[in-house]
Amino acid sequence: MMKSIKIALTIIALFTFTFSQAQTKKKPVKKGVKTAVKAQTKTPDKKMPEEEIVSNETKVKITTDMGDIVIKLYDKTPLHRDNFIKLVNDHFYDSLLFHRIISGFMIQGGDPKSKTAQPGEMLGSGDVGYTIPAEFDPSLFHKKGALCAARTNNPEKASSGCQFYIVQGKPSSDAELDNFDMQRPVKYTSAQRMTYKINGGTPFLDMNYTVFGEVVSGIEVVDLIAAAPKAPGDRPVTDIHMKMEVVK
């Protein structure tokens, strides 16, 4: 059990999108929270978009070099939903890369630096200059296909303003779920446990990273991207681009 916990904590620590080789420092977004970008020069912090967008499970199509993925955004996480819609409508994600892939875990994208990145360049430190407060809900969990927000290792677990990941994960055993259940304020429902056991996911991330949507079609594309050849640093050897649009 202790070995499983150590492995889970190691993966969570690796999940922050700020890479260790970034040497320069930037003033934190707010007191007590590490800046999401260590490698950028000092610039005034931007404010999170305040535009309120009414959603009825808004869907977004992610067009990639390996196929299309359609996701729906949860209304239970309005701050993340509205921010994501705003960025999609502003074409922020167009031409960015899935810059980090780990088979059996997740695929990650949203680094603005990836738009002009050279082959082999380490990515993951780019950001938009603001964070989003965590929006945790026990009913929203890291099942396969979950859309989630990346973040730094900050105490408030605030999310990156732009970087996201889609869970691939793997099936969990009853013993593993019992272990994770002990760490949650609310126990898994029987339906959630069944989903993790049959379809898989990453339960050790629950209530630590905000889940704000899920794949409704194209999960096979997630599998293809996760299985792509990659270089050290988990960047795909061949660039995998994305383009996004809100769809009905």
The pTM of the full predicted model, rounded to 2 decimals, is 0.81
**Tens digits of residue pLDDT in 110-161:** 999 999 999 999 999 999 999 999 999 999 999 999 999 999 999 999 999 9
What strand order describes the sheet that includes 59-64? 98-102, 106-109, 164-167, 146-149, 211-217, 67-73, 59-64, 242-247
CATH code at 110? 2.40.100.10
In a domain, 35, yes or no: no
Domain membership of residue 103 (yes or no) is yes
Q: Is 80 within the bounds of a domain? A: yes
Is 207's pLDDT higher than 70? yes
Residue 137 per-residue DSSP state: -
Q: For the ranges 37-51, 66-80, 215-229, which has the lowest average pLDDT? A: 37-51
**Pairing between strand 59-64 and 67-73?**
antiparallel
User: What is the tens place of the pLDDT at every residue in 58-75?
Assistant: 999 999 999 999 999 999
Q: Once rounded to an integer, what is the mean pLDDT over residues 160-180?
A: 97
84: left (phi over 0), alpha (psi -120 to 50) or beta: alpha
Residue 217 to residue 235: CA distance in whole angstroms = 24
Q: What is the pLDDT of residues 180-202, one digit of tens each?
A: 999 888 999 999 999 999 999 99
Higher model confidence: residue 121 or residue 46? 121
Residue 195 lies in a domain: yes
Q: Given a cut of 50, is residue 104 above it in pLDDT?
A: yes
Determine, yes or no, domain membership for 215.
yes
**Residue 134 structural domain:** 2-17+55-247
Is 44 within a domain?
no
* pLDDT for residue 36: 31
Specify if 32 maps to a domain.
no
Amino acid at 124: G
- Whole-angstrom Cα distance, residue 158 to residue 130? 10
DSSP 41: P
Residue 39 lies in a domain: no
**Cα 115 from chain centroid (whole Å):** 18
**pLDDT of 38 higher than 70:** no
The pLDDT of residue 127: 96
Number of domains observed in the structure of the chain: 1
